Amino acid sequence: MPDSSPTAHRALKTKRCKLQDGIVLSCTVLRHPPARFGPRPRPVALIALEDGARVLAPLTQALPIGTHVRSRLRLSHITAEGLRIYDATYEPLVLSKNPVPDFPGYILALTGPSGVGKSTVSAVLMRMFAEYVERVPIVTTRERREGDDGEYRYVSKRVFTELQKEGKLIAMTHIPATAEERWYGYRASDLERIWKAGKLPVVITEMHLLQGLAERYGRRSILSFGLLPPGKSKRAMLSHLLHRLRLRGRETEEHIKDRLKNAEEDIAFFSRRKDLFDRILVNENVEHVIENLRQTVPGLSEARTEN
Rounded alpha-carbon distances, angstroms, from residue 297 to 108, 109, 294: 8, 11, 6
Domain 107-296 superfamily per CATH? P-loop containing nucleotide triphosphate hydrolases (3.40.50.300)
pLDDT tens figures, 272-302: 888 888 888 988 889 999 998 988 887 777 6
pTM over 0.85: no
DSSP letter (8 states) at residue 178: S
CATH 2.60.40 is held by the domain 18-92: no
Residue 95, judged by CB atoms within 10 A of its CB (0-12, 13-18, 19+), counts as exposed
Model confidence pLDDT, tens digit, residues 94-132: 543 334 444 457 899 999 887 788 888 999 999 999 888
pLDDT per position as a tens digit, 132-162: 899 999 999 988 877 676 788 999 999 999 9
Question: Where do the domains of the chain lie?
Answer: 18-92, 107-296
Q: What is the pLDDT of residue 99?
A: 42
pLDDT score, position 244: 73
- Rounded mean pLDDT, 198-215: 88
pLDDT at 39: 56
pLDDT band at 12 (very low <50, low <70, confident <90, very high): very low
pLDDT of residue 217: 83
Q: Are the CB atoms for 177 and 114 separated by under 8 Å?
A: no
